[in-house]
Amino acid sequence: MKKMSCVFFLLLACTLISEAAADPLPSWNSGPAKQAILDFVAKVTDPDSKEFVPVPERLAVFDNDGALWPENPMPFQLAFALDELKRRLPDEPAWKDDPMVQAALAGDLPTLLADHYKGLFHIIDLTGSGMTTEDFANRVRAWFATAKHPRFDRPYDQLAYQPMLEVLAFLRANGFKTCIVSGGGADFMRVFAERVYGIPPEQVIGSNTRTVFELRDSGPVLVKTMKDLFIDDKSGKPVAIHQFLGRRPIACFGNSDGDKAMLEYTTINNPHPSFGLIVHHTDANREYAYDSSPKSSGKLVEALADAPKRGWIVVDMKADWKKIFAP
């Protein structure tokens, strides 16, 4: 009898394990969103299907803030910039008379965001220009090692959405190339994207500027500037996809109106089968709930309205996601 129950539990364990292994999206509840992802991948990877897509054409693009990790109470890169202002303030006496620095230090986001070029980009210039690309990456690394999210009390790079990490891994396991196409700064995201998302730097597209090459005694360096600032948002996203990747995606994952143009570029009259998905933030208890009136970035009105006619899948975070973050 003892032997029998031992065998029974062993069999049960095996079944559970194999079921878990069989589900590539274990953090997703069963429902239309999960099923749509599974169905799309199944059909484009089936060599006997008319909708089969060859591996090199399997390109998937992801927004970052609000799609792969939160963007509240402010985009994480802005939190980094504000912390950098504080850290460097003692060595930058001129900053005391800078109204935007004062607004930033006071947490006065409306003033900072009223005119992006006078406010936000000025802060990004102060904290992200004039140093080498290596210096900047080291500062970002140091910040991730110490800063914590005010609500979740975790390092910011431990706040990737577990269900989306599973989508990334599932797509890659099926021959997709996964790329980030985000309004965030490329140099900021590339510091953690490989480690956190498994996405190498050359597949991370973000807002960007040109550096300046210098051959110093210590060796070659690239100095960060604000030259040719390109904002990788809205219609800039398909523009950047063409400029950096040079081919049309067949799958696109976003969460805001800033992603509408790349959803359109991916899904309208694409000669290949295509897939668009919007993460709708509906879970104030476990994460945040917002669309038309976000606390910071992430406004979602037009893309949500277009979703039914475009066939874009809308994820109801509260209903569709079993968990939000990795334990």
* CA-based torsion, 90, 91, 94, 100: positive or negative: negative
Nearer to its own copies by Cβ, of 29 and 133: the residue is 133
- Does 149 bind its own copies (CB under 8 A)? Our answer is no
Residue whose pair of structure tokens reads 């749509």 in the numeric block: 36
Note the Cα 219 to chain centre separation in Å: 33
CA-closest candidate to residue 249, choices 69, 64, 63: 63
- Does 133 bind its own copies (CB under 8 A)? Our answer is yes
CB 91 within 8 A of CB 110: no
- Does 238 bind its own copies (CB under 8 A)? Our answer is yes
Q: Which two tokens stand for residue 102?
A: 């004062």
Which amino acid is located at 63 in the chain? D
CB of 176 to its own copies, least distance (A): 13
Query: For residues 206-235, which are near its own copies according to CB under 8 A?
Result: 208, 210-213, 215, 218-220, 222, 228, 230, 235
CB 73 within 8 A of CB 151: yes
Query: For residues 156-185, which are near its own copies according to CB under 8 A?
Result: 177, 179
Nearer to its own copies by Cβ, of 112 and 180: the residue is 180
Nearer to its own copies by Cβ, of 74 and 261: the residue is 261
- Does 200 bind its own copies (CB under 8 A)? Our answer is yes
Nearer to its own copies by Cβ, of 238 and 254: the residue is 238
Q: How many CB atoms lie within 10 A of CB 320?
A: 22
Angle of helix 302-310 versus helix 260-267 axis, rounded to 10: 10
- Does 194 bind its own copies (CB under 8 A)? Our answer is yes
- Does 246 bind its own copies (CB under 8 A)? Our answer is yes
Which amino acid is located at 205 in the chain? I
Nearer to its own copies by Cβ, of 146 and 218: the residue is 218
* Residue 252, beta-bridge partner list: 61, 276
CB 295 within 8 A of CB 258: no
Q: For residue 257, how many C-alpha atoms fall within 13 Å in the half-sphere facing its CB? A: 11
Q: Site for its own copies (CB under 8 A): which residue of 36, 131, 226, 245?
A: 245
Q: Give the interface size with its own copies as a residue count (CB under 8 A).
A: 40
Nearer to its own copies by Cβ, of 92 and 135: the residue is 135
Binding-site ranges for its own copies (CB under 8 A): 56, 133, 177, 179, 186-187, 190, 194, 200-204, 208, 210-213, 215, 218-220, 222, 228, 230, 235-236, 238-239, 242-247, 261, 264-265, 268-269
